[in-house]
A and B are shown apart, each in its own frame.
Chain A
Amino acid sequence: MNGPHDLGGQMGFGPVAPEKDEPYFHAAWEKRALGVTLTAGAMGAWNIDESRHARECLHPADYYASSYYEIWIKALETLLKRHNFVTANDLAAGDAVDLAATPKRVLKAENVPAVLAKGGPCDRPMDEPAVFAVGQRVRTKNFHPIGHTRLPRYARGKEGVIDAVRDGFVFPDSNAPGQGENPQRVYTVVFTAAELWGEGADPALTVSIDAWESYLEPA
């Protein structure tokens, strides 16, 4: 979707504000927000693509006014309601009022190190050979789906060169709405700044994205 999250090339947000000796957390609640998000995700009711899409579905005014952990928590409430773990009654009461769906699993403290160390690999073996080869010129599609996609707006309908052929990966556009993993090969595609930004672009700048095969066509 053309949501507030798709920030590449937008203007008006002001300078980057690096913080010297930045702490990992700026408030105690941020620690809990990280942990609640990860432990709730570990129930296995939704995948990473669905959770990303829940974040990008925040109203733009809300998204831009929120810190990243705030975005996480707001999206998490959506996911928990959607999957029947939490109800509006629970949230209004600030306590467990209604019954919850049964999770596939509950992450216990003793299992955290192993779960974090394992991660969630989302590469998938591909039987078919790669359609595109390194050095080949390709064009990204110009589409505007209402659902989740990982092709940013600034790189749609642009001509670039295949820089690397990657493994097969779960396809976010179908995985987010629960329509299956449908793995596709991923390619790193590199663009000149002139192709992306036109007149006055930095001649010494190139930008790459990682694109699923169906985002691309031969140029």
Chain B
Amino acid sequence: MAARVRALETILTRKGLIDPAAIDVIVDTYETKVGPRNGARVVAKAWSDREYADWLKRDATAAIASLGYTGRQGEHMQAVFNTDETHNLVVCTLCSCYPWSVLGLPPVWYKAPPYRSRAVIDPRGVLEEFGLSLPKDKNIRVWDSTAELRYLVVPQRPSGSDGWSEDKLADLVTRDSMIGTGLAREAA
């Protein structure tokens, strides 16, 4: 595959159809600039600021854009909030739709058949494979991203984090907790 991709890049470059330097910028963007740290900032702010949380619930696209996170695969956002009663889980059974603007590029497992096939029929079993055991009576809501809305899970704020700064709170927010395959880290 390495040779095949190199050949394709060569053909397109020599025909003047693509700029290889543009590829470098794209890769750099998703390696160093756009990643789950963005989403963690959104969640930390929602935990700290009730007005922001309400805005995020009402109009996630605008609330997220206010922190500077916009663009490709984050054009239409919806935030879904975990509660004591309900745990949210996001999947794209049909391809690999994922909120790039807040989480960056999706992990391999998110795009692979085991997760995509089972998240909608056996989410509890899937969560066990992530080391997350939910009580049987805890509701699970699975969001299958079949259209252009992209979902961000807002995990519950860990107890013992009262008074923490947004920076410190953001460190508790893992990528998986914003997909729903994990919870936020415990406040140490």
Interchain Cβ contacts under 8 Å between A and B, 29 examples: A8-B116, A15-B129, A16-B109, A16-B115, A18-B130, A34-B26, A38-B26, A39-B18, A39-B26, A42-B22, A67-B108, A76-B8, A86-B11, A94-B7, A94-B11, A100-B17, A107-B19, A109-B19, A116-B34, A116-B72, A151-B146, A152-B93, A169-B148, A170-B148, A190-B141, A196-B121, A206-B141, A206-B142, A210-B144
A213 CB, nearest partner CB in chain B, Å: 11
Report chain A residues within 8 Å CB of B16. 100, 106
Question: B180 on the interface (CB 8 Å rule)?
Answer: no
Report chain B residues within 8 Å CB of A18. 107, 109, 129-130, 176, 181
Question: B50 on the interface (CB 8 Å rule)?
Answer: no
By the criterion CB–CB under 8 Å, are A32 and B15 in contact?
Answer: no
Query: Whole-angstrom distance between the alpha carbons of A86 and B27 in the complex?
Result: 24
CB closest chain-B residue, reference A215: B146
Interface 0/1 of A41-74, CB less than 8 Å to B: 0110000000010011000000010011110010
Given A8-B93, A39-B23, A123-B76, answer yes or no on A73-B8 (Cβ-Cβ < 8 Å).
yes
Chain A interfacial residues counted at CB < 8 A: 93
Question: B117 on the interface (CB 8 Å rule)?
Answer: yes
By the criterion CB–CB under 8 Å, are A35 and B31 in contact?
Answer: no
Contact of A36 (CB < 8 Å), options: B8, B112, B181: B8
Which residues of B, 13-49, contact A by the 8 Å Cβ criterion? 14-19, 21-27, 29-31, 34-35
Question: B137 on the interface (CB 8 Å rule)?
Answer: yes
Question: A137 on the interface (CB 8 Å rule)?
Answer: no
Question: B94 on the interface (CB 8 Å rule)?
Answer: yes
Given A8-B120, A119-B71, A119-B72, answer yes or no on A208-B142 (Cβ-Cβ < 8 Å).
yes
Given A152-B146, A205-B142, answer yes or no on A68-B94 (Cβ-Cβ < 8 Å).
no
Question: B155 on the interface (CB 8 Å rule)?
Answer: no
Report chain B residues within 8 Å CB of A9. 117, 120-121
Report chain A residues within 8 Å CB of B111. 68
Given A106-B16, A150-B146, A204-B138, answer yes or no on A39-B22 (Cβ-Cβ < 8 Å).
yes
Contact of A116 (CB < 8 Å), options: B2, B10, B71, B115: B71
Interface 0/1 of A184-210, CB less than 8 Å to B: 001010100100110000101111111
Question: B9 on the interface (CB 8 Å rule)?
Answer: yes
